[in-house]
Chain A
Amino acid sequence: MSNSKLKMLVASLTLVAAPVVIAAESGEDLYKTYCWQCHGMLANGMGANIADMSVQPRDHTDNKEMTARSDEELFKAIKDGGQAIDKSALMPPWSGVLSDDEIQSLVRYLRELCKCGK
């Protein structure tokens, strides 16, 4: 194989093997997509879905309530659902949809919403 052909082969293999870089989604955008529906555009627990719900979703702007929750608890509630922390089954587990990194981004964004960073 000629040197130039070898170079082309290496170049094409490099192209094929290049990892696909997917930009990480921000906590804010994840919140808008997955959380607004129940927790609301204003994050106050007044989402468009709540009219016929038996339990009102958590108000994420409630500084006192949110301060009482550790980051680990918030992570667990998002990942494994409300029942995992003895709360409502209406909060579904998101582990099949969101990665651990994305859930961490959401936890950080929740701390911004409640202005209760830990």
Chain B
Amino acid sequence: MLFKARLKPIAVVAVFAATLLSPIVSADSGDKILESRCVECHDLKGSGPASLAELWALKGPSLAYAGNKYKQPWLEQWLAAPTRIRPAGMFYGNHIKPGADEDVVNKDSLIKHLALSASEAKAVSAALMKHKAKSELITAGAYKPGTISLRMGELVFDKFRGCLGCHQIEPGYGGVSGPEVYTLGNRLQEDYIISFIQDPQAWSPLTFMPNRPLKDKDLQKLVHYFRALAKEKFE
């Protein structure tokens, strides 16, 4: 009896300590996964490619500023069940071939992203949020929440600015060299989107996204549109 009574408080303390420690252990294991399984294709610390040859060799986006770029809930669910975001891969030039009419995506050459277990995805997404390179490019609160109809949003995105040329606004509709934008509203932080469109090369040196001067009101409308698009169900 006496032995059991002594054990009980020890067990309670142990459980309490484990609860306190678990987030730390989790983020720590996320760092380990990043270093062991992600670093082969993703830049975790560098500043980006310094030449076109380095740009062409990229296998995945930089994660050095993942904490400024991605929304953590999206990261966690995507890492466990990845889908294709860039229809023609990281550098489209490596994954296209001449077709009967226009060039087509060479799907056999695309690399499938590995899937993590639910617990690994949670740990890695938490660890990624600590990667905050280039914070000086972000203005907190740059995006002012608002709404736009899908029809008007598409006008701003496509007719006025030609963004559809490179980005898909629904699966299979739009260009293939850039990442799709129909999940963008769930995927990326709004203040990051504003900053990136204003100066893509500052975030992603040598990127083949043009740098178009846009008025703030048009930037805001584009982000309203991405948020509206992300609510659509395309399946």
A40 near B103: Cβ-Cβ < 8 Å: yes
B164, B174, B210 pick with most chain A CB within 10 angstroms: B210
Q: How far is the CB of B191 from chain A (nearest CB, A)?
A: 20
B101 near A36: Cβ-Cβ < 8 Å: no
B175 near A52: Cβ-Cβ < 8 Å: yes
Interface residue from B104, B173, B210 paired with A48 (Cβ < 8 Å) = B104
- The secondary structure that dominates the B interface is loop
B104, B165, B177 pick with most chain A CB within 10 angstroms: B165
Query: Which residues of the partner chain A approach B103 to less than 8 Å between Cβ atoms?
Result: 36, 40-42, 46-48
Report the Cα distance A40→B104, complex, angstroms.
Answer: 10
Binds B, one of A9-17, A63-71, A90-98, A109-117: A90-98
B52 near A30: Cβ-Cβ < 8 Å: yes
A-B residue pair count with CB separations less than 8 angstroms = 92
Q: How far is the CB of B94 from chain A (nearest CB, A)?
A: 10
B52 near A89: Cβ-Cβ < 8 Å: no
A47 near B102: Cβ-Cβ < 8 Å: yes
Report B164-189 CB contacts with A as 1/0, cut-off 8 Å.
11100000011111000000000000
A97 near B201: Cβ-Cβ < 8 Å: yes
Judged by a CB distance under 8 angstroms, whether A107 is at the interface is no
B102 near A92: Cβ-Cβ < 8 Å: no
Q: How far is the CB of B48 from chain A (nearest CB, A)?
A: 14
Report B53-68 CB contacts with A as 1/0, cut-off 8 Å.
1011000000000000
Query: Which residues of the partner chain A approach B105 to less than 8 Å between Cβ atoms?
Result: 48
A37 near B175: Cβ-Cβ < 8 Å: yes
Judged by a CB distance under 8 angstroms, whether A53 is at the interface is yes
A53 near B165: Cβ-Cβ < 8 Å: yes
The 8 A-B pairs at the shortest CB distance, nearest first, are namely A96-B211, A49-B175, A92-B210, A37-B177, A46-B102, A48-B103, A90-B162, A48-B96
Binding site for A on B (CB under 8 A): 50-53, 55-56, 88, 92-93, 96-99, 101-105, 160-162, 164-166, 173-177, 199, 201, 206, 208, 210-213
Known contacts A33-B206, A37-B208; can you find 5 more A-B pairs with CB under 8 A? A36-B96, A41-B93, A46-B98, A49-B175, A53-B175
